[in-house]
């Protein structure tokens, strides 16, 4: 985005744009990690993917603290079910 367009965007729009950019970059890195044969390049891409995921989480937390990204508090039962589903999926793959 150029500087002129940024002046017309709200705080929510700017942060949402940043959030989506970081998410897209993390996905792109993940795709490239799985297509790379070089261990050195794989490590670099994995590090960058992790940095994008961390940046995305920081932006998400900032948006949530400003009530720009409302979420509901998950019940312990929902958390446990999600963990179990992920474990089942992992077990199926391995």
Q: What percent of the chain has pLDDT over 70?
A: 94
Half-sphere exposure of 67 (CA within 13 A, CB side): 0
The helix/strand/coil state of 22 is helix
- Residue 27 · residue 34 · CB < 8 Å: no
- pLDDT, mean over the chain: 92
Residue with tokens 């993917």: 49
pTM over 0.85, yes/no: no
- Residue 56 · residue 17 · CB < 8 Å: no
- Rounded to 5 degrees, what are φ and ψ at 25? -65, -40
- Show Cβ contacts of residue 14 under 8 Å, excluding neighbours closer than 6 positions: 6
> Does position 39 have pLDDT exceeding 70, yes or no?
yes
pLDDT in the model for residue 94: 81
């Amino acid at each position: 985005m150029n500087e002129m367009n940024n002046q017309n965007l709200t705080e929510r729009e700017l942060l949402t744009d940043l959030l989506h950019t970081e998410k897209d970059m993390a996905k792109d890195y993940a795709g490239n990690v799985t297509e790379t044969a070089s261990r050195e390049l794989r490590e670099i891409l994995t590090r960058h993917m992790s940095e994008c995921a961390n940046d995305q989480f920081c932006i998400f937390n900032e948006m949530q603290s400003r009530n720009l990204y409302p979420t509901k508090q998950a019940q312990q039962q929902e958390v446990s079910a999600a963990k179990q589903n992920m474990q089942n999926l992992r077990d199926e793959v391995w």
